[in-house]
């Protein structure tokens, strides 16, 4: 009997880039999810169908054989192969698998799609073999897959995709999870420009190498914004949260990670009444987010589309990974 698992994407509300040096970052699970349907196969292949992304193929002895799409797409799917194999290894089983991947989270724009897919894969495979893994273990095994794509990620994405809710993350101190009393509404504006987190982080490091005291002052300021922003969010204080998002955007611009496309969407959203708007994630493309009261959601979405962004209405969610038998 096949198993379906889903896991949420994420958005960074405060503290991207500064968190590499000094925390905290505030990250929210969003109600856009990735889905993986897993079933056993009689052979030893791990077959992955990602047809809505335009490719599918299988792994045999960790080598990728495309069925549709180009061979290099195996790079995108290698994380799932590793996550699935590590999960089976942990459970002491050895089987072929078929994994069908469907996602409502745009890829490579900072919304945590790869982590959501990895987490859903681990949860689906675990349930398929009645593994009964704890959520901590699901997160840990999915991190093994994530490392294949991202090198050394912070671990925020797989945590938030596993547990849902609001995550406050600080290097050294780790993760703390919170629930929101009052759920605010957001509109994401996707510039559709893909970018590499690693390159953006490297760019900030180089800027800091050349201008250490200036960049450190900006990082300190973002860290203060992030702490106050977290408090405002938890109190349900929309105007204050929005104001701090605006400050955070200005400071990220100062670090050189915004783009004219992101700025256009940020200012357009503010003009239409958003309480606050900022880029989210590594910048250099990808997405911005706007905190928007119910009455303004329609006009903010419209203006984002007018300036050629993809608009995605999202609410934060407490629901982390969920698996069920089909």
Kindly list the residues in this chain that would bind ligand PMV in the complex (CB under 6 A).
Answer: 12, 16-17, 19-20, 110, 154, 197, 201, 281-282, 286
Tell me how far, at minimum, the Cβ of 51 lies from ligand PMV, in Å: 25
Using CB positions, name the residue nearest to ligand PMV: 281
Separation CA 324–CA 124 (nearest Å): 8
Tell me how far, at minimum, the Cβ of 215 lies from ligand PMV, in Å: 14
Tell me how far, at minimum, the Cβ of 172 lies from ligand PMV, in Å: 13
Tell me how far, at minimum, the Cβ of 309 lies from ligand PMV, in Å: 16
3-state secondary structure the chain: CCEEEEEEEEEEEECCCHHHHCCCEEEEEEEEEEEEEEEEECCCCEEEEEHHHCEEEEEECCEEEEEECCHHHHHHHHHHHHHHHHHHHHHCCCCEEEEEEEECCCCCCCCCHHHHHHHHHHHHHHHHCCCCCCHHHHHHHHHHHHHHHHCCCCCHHHHHHHHCCEEEEECCCEEEEECCCCCCCEEEEECCCCCCHHHHHHHHHHHHHHCHHHHHHHHHHHHHHHHHHHHHHHHCCHHHHHHHHHHHHHHHHHCCCCCHHHHHHHHHHHHCCCCEEEEECCCCCCEEEEECCHHHHHHHHHHHHHCCCEEEEECECCCCCEEEEC
Output Rg (C-alpha) for the chain, integer angstroms.
20
Tell me how far, at minimum, the Cβ of 195 lies from ligand PMV, in Å: 8
Cβ-based nearer residue to ligand PMV, 99 or 120: 120
According to DSSP, the residues that pair with 100 across neighbouring strands are 37, 49
Cβ-based nearer residue to ligand PMV, 125 or 279: 279
Q: Which of 157, 220, 231, 315 is catalytic?
A: 157
Tell me how far, at minimum, the Cβ of 119 lies from ligand PMV, in Å: 15
Q: Determine whether 39 is an active site residue.
A: no
Asked if residue 174 lies in contact with residue 25, where contact means CB atoms within 8 angstroms, the answer is no
Cβ-based nearer residue to ligand PMV, 238 or 316: 316
Cβ-based nearer residue to ligand PMV, 14 or 59: 14
Neighbours of 253 (CB within 10 A): 17
Cβ-based nearer residue to ligand PMV, 16 or 49: 16
Dihedral (C-alpha) 255, 259, 265, 269: value to the nearest 10 degrees? Answer: 20
Cβ-based nearer residue to ligand PMV, 17 or 278: 17
- Active site amino acids: 157
């Amino acid at each position: 009997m096949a198993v379906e698992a889903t896991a949420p994407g994420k958005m960074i509300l405060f503290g991207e880039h500064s968190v590499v040096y000094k925390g905290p970052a505030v990250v929210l699970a969003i109600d856009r999810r990735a889905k993986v349907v897993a079933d056993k196969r009689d052979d030893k292949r791990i077959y992955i169908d990602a047809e809505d992304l335009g490719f599918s193929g299988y792994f045999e002895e960790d080598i990728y054989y495309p069925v549709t799409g180009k061979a290099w797409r195996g790079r995108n799917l290698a994380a799932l192969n590793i996550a699935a194999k590590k999960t089976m290894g942990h459970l002491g089983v050895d089987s072929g698998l078929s994994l069908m991947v469907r996602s409502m989270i745009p890829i490579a724009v900072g919304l945590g799609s790869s982590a959501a897919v990895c987490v859903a894969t681990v949860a689906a495979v675990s349930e398929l073999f009645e593994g009964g893994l704890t959520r901590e273990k699901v997160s840990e095994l999915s991190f093994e897959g994530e490392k294949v794509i991202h090198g050394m990620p912070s671990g925020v994405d797989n945590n938030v995709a596993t547990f849902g809710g609001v995550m406050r993350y600080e290097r050294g101190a780790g993760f703390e999870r919170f629930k929101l009393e009052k759920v605010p509404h957001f509109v994401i504006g996707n510039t559709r420009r893909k970018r590499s987190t690693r390159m953006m982080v490297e760019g900030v490091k180089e800027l800091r190498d050349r201008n250490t005291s200036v960049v450190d002052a900006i990082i300190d300021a973002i860290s203060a914004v992030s702490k106050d922003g977290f408090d405002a969010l938890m109190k349900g204080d929309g105007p204050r949260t929005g104001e701090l998002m605006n400050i955070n955007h200005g400071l990220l611009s100062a670090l050189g990670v915004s783009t004219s496309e992101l700025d256009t969407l940020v200012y357009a959203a503010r003009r239409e009444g958003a309480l606050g708007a900022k880029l989210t994630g590594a910048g250099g493309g990808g997405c911005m987010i706007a905190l928007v009261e119910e009455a303004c959601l329609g006009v903010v979405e419209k203006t984002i589309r007018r300036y050629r962004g993809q608009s995605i209405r999202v609410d934060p969610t407490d629901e982390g990974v969920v698996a069920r038998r089909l």
